[in-house]
């Protein structure tokens, strides 16, 4: 026989990984409202995806549903959390405590489960030493020491584009392999380092493209009345 609930495939598709947090959030909401089991149809609805896609996504983790019934909410929360690595605590350092860095540090929600802001770092002597969100702001010169001391494994870059590559190189040099970049610049990193980018400007430009398209296209080839 085989043990019934084992993650089968070590290779989970990237598209699936990107949706797991969505499912997890929906499940947390259901758990809080006391819902014990949920069908793929309902969960897919809450997460805004197709139910077949949801089932296929979950099937990559293992066979955690019961046919005729659905998925047990608490159990699925645990399995997804474990798969995403949220059963452990990740220490996050935020580099740059300008407007954005401050917002991130104070944004309690984003560090809800599994993540902990462990350090704030900035280059401006004016803010070094300040306390933001209960944390002391340390100097960028001590970046490497801070990362080592606090056990930081994920670094968030909330600094100007011009400074991003240099800081990126420094944190990689001391072993960081996960970076969330808010600076509007393409970081070049060696293999094995993951960079995820959040770029407000790009998102707005994509919206503008579609908005313009709705309004009649760039040439405004009006055949409307």
Partner DNA sequence: ATCCCTTTGTGAACCGATGCACAAAGTCGC
Partner DNA sequence: GCGACTTTGTGCATCGGTTCACAAAGGGAT
| By the rule CB under 8 A, 66 interacts with a copy of itself | no
**Torsion angle of C-alpha atoms 77, 81, 87, 90, degrees rounded to 10:** -140
Cα 103-49-110 angle, rounded to 5 deg: 15
d(CA 201, CA 213): 18
Distances (CA, A) of 44 to 163, 210, 215: 41, 26, 32
Please say which residue, 26 or 77, places its beta carbon nearer to a copy of itself: 26
Part in contact with a copy of itself (CB under 8 A); list of ranges 70-78, 123-131, 144-152, 193-201: 193-201
Please say which residue, 219 or 222, places its beta carbon nearer to a copy of itself: 219
d(CA 51, CA 157): 36
Binding site for DNA (CB under 7 A): 13-16, 39-41, 49-53, 55-56, 58-59, 63-71
Q: Is 100 assigned to a binding site?
A: yes
Q: In terms of Cα–Cα distance, which of 62, 89, 76 is closest to 26?
A: 76
Q: Is 98 assigned to a binding site?
A: yes
Binding site for NAD(+): what residues are annotated? 96-101
Q: Binding residues for a copy of itself, per CB under 8 A?
A: 7, 10, 17-18, 20-22, 24-26, 46-48, 82-88, 90, 92, 98-100, 102-104, 106-107, 109-110, 112, 114-115, 153-154, 161, 177-180, 184, 186, 188, 192, 194, 196, 198-214, 217-219
């Amino acid at each position: 026989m085989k043990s019934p609930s084992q993650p089968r495939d070590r290779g989970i598709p990237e598209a699936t990984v990107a949706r797991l947090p969505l499912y997890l959030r929906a499940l947390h909401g259901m758990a809080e409202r006391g819902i014990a089991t949920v069908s793929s149809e309902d969960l897919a609805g809450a997460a805004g995806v197709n139910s077949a896609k949801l089932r296929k996504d979950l099937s990559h983790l293992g066979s955690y549903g019961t046919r005729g019934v659905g998925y047990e909410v608490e159990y699925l929360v645990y399995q997804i959390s474990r798969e995403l690595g949220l059963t452990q605590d990740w220490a996050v350092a935020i580099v740059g405590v300008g407007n954005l860095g401050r917002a991130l540090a104070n944004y309690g929600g984003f560090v809800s489960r599994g993540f902990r802001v462990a350090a704030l770092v900035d280059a401006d002597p004016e803010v070094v030493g300040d306390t933001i969100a209960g944390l002391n702001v340390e100097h960028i010169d001590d970046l490497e020491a801070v990362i080592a001391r606090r056990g930081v494994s994920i670094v968030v870059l909330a600094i100007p584009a011009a400074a991003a590559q240099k800081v990126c190189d420094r944190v990689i040099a001391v072993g960081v392999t996960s970076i969330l970049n808010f600076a509007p610049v393409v970081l070049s990193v060696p293999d094995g380092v993951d960079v995820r980018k959040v770029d407000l400007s790009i998102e707005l430009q994509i919206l503008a493209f579609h908005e313009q398209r709705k309004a009649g296209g760039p040439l405004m080839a009006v055949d409307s009345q």
